[in-house]
Amino acid sequence: DTEVTQTPKHLVMGMTNKKSLKCEQHMGHRAMYWYKQKAKKPPELMFVYSYEKLSINESVPSRFSPECPNSSLLNLHLHALQPEDSALYLCASSQDSGENQPQHFGDGTRLSIL
Amino acid sequence: ELKVEQNPLFLSMQEGKNYTIYCNYSTTSDRLYWYRQDPGKSLESLFVLLSNGAVKQEGRLMASLDTKARLSTLHITAAVHDLSATYFCAVDRGAQKLVFGQGTRLTINP
């Protein structure tokens, strides 16, 4: 069991749908991350939140919209996605973005765009 | 732009043998992480390497970092089937912005 919980585990959506991915951690971590991982590829960083503020956006298309309602929660709002957006979306957290501690990853949401 | 390269990308080995996975990176960094990923699963942190000459060991796995050569190694001793997984190194380009290597898919045969 991981300490970072992601829901849903699987999501199938059409290109016109709006959906959200959720991530929760109760380790008191102040940095949270979204990654995208295509099959048989490494994770790619999308967003970094530090102390509930967006600190890094790795030039992600606006159809992905992150939100950090509080220090334990991280959402990723999805709208008008494309088939190439089908991937495993991983959430991670760490003590702080400046600390020398590893990131803890959730099990991911496997997203399929029809 | 930071590039991280692992080799080999695929490794099939027999139980009981030793082998090393290499991780080279292109620009200076003081922080390097190793992760393990089982099929369909999340990433599990294995090692955090923070300085030149750092060596960490856990069970049959040992990781080292040479920041001058921009090289980290993950050494597997007397491999067992349970170590079959994909192993990623990840280099921190600052403020925990990790760049991952391509991953090494390790299969250990009985």
Please tell me what DSSP assigns to residue B38: -
pLDDT at A41: 94
Q: Is the pLDDT of residue A1 over 90?
A: no
> Is the CB of residue A7 less than 8 Å away from at least one CB of chain B?
no
**Percent of chain A clearing pLDDT 90 (strictly above):** 84
pLDDT 10s digits, A33-69: 999 999 999 999 999 999 999 998 999 999 999 999 9
Interface of A with B in 17-76 (CB under 8 A): 31, 33, 40-45, 48, 50, 55-56
Phi then psi for residue B58, to 5 deg, are -145, 110
User: pLDDT (tens digit, 0 to 9) for every residue of chain B, 110 residues total?
Assistant: 889 999 999 999 999 999 999 999 998 887 999 999 998 889 999 999 988 888 999 999 999 999 999 999 999 999 999 999 999 999 998 888 999 999 999 999 98
Per CB-CB distance under 8 Å, the chain B contacts of A45 are 97-99
- The per-residue DSSP string of A82-108 comes to -GGG-EEEEEEEES-TTSS-PPEE---
Best residue in B2, B29, B36, B96 for a mutation probing chain A (most A CBs within 10 Å): B96
pLDDT at A2: 63
Residues B84 and A24: their CA atoms lie apart, in Å, by 29
Per CB-CB distance under 8 Å, the chain A contacts of B88 are 42-43
pLDDT at B59: 95
pLDDT at A88: 96
